[in-house]
Copies of this chain bind each other. A is one copy, B any other.
Amino acid sequence: MTDGVKLSDQQYQLMQALWHLGEGSAKTVQTQLSHLGLAHTTVATILTRLEKKGVLISRTEGRERIFVPTVSEGEVRRSMVSSLVGTLFKGDDRQLLAHLVKESDLQQNDLDEIQKMLAEAGND
């Protein structure tokens, strides 16, 4: 479904930590993201909001609350990319492709690689 999950940068970071961990408490996540320098209460707040948003659920385990993603990173990526494509390119993925090809500083070997991918995609 294009259920339109859309996360802010920060929110995505947190989810990413959870995707890597599989699951985890606010504390665990905060530790994992210590480079961001967020207070643990901040992390907890964001996680709570993400739960309200439906992208994760939590269970209480002893005195800890364990958060578990309910959507995969792939799903979120898909819907975020297609949302952007919707806004910027009238929903036409190919226009984004074209944009990337034009704007990216692609090296020849990148191109080769991509062409290989395209060739494989064509064989589906």
The residues of B that contact A113 with a CB separation of less than 8 Å are 94
Given contacts A88-B12, A110-B94, whether A101 and B78 have CB atoms under 8 Å apart is no
Q: A5: CB under 8 A from chain B?
A: no
Q: Once the chains bind, are B84 and A101 in contact (CB under 8 Å)?
A: no
Residue in contact with A80 in the complex, picked from B12, B78, B84, B97, CB distance below 8 Å? B84
Interface of A is mostly: helix
Which residues of A in the span 2-22 have a Cβ within 8 Å of any Cβ on B?
9, 12
CA distance A24 to B72 in the complex (A): 43
Q: A114: CB under 8 A from chain B?
A: yes
Residue in contact with A117 in the complex, picked from B12, B93, B101, CB distance below 8 Å? B101
Q: Once the chains bind, are A98 and B114 in contact (CB under 8 Å)?
A: yes
Residues of chain A having any CB pair with chain B under 8 Å: 9, 12, 77-78, 80-81, 84, 87-88, 93-94, 96-104, 106, 108, 110-111, 113-115, 117-118, 121-122
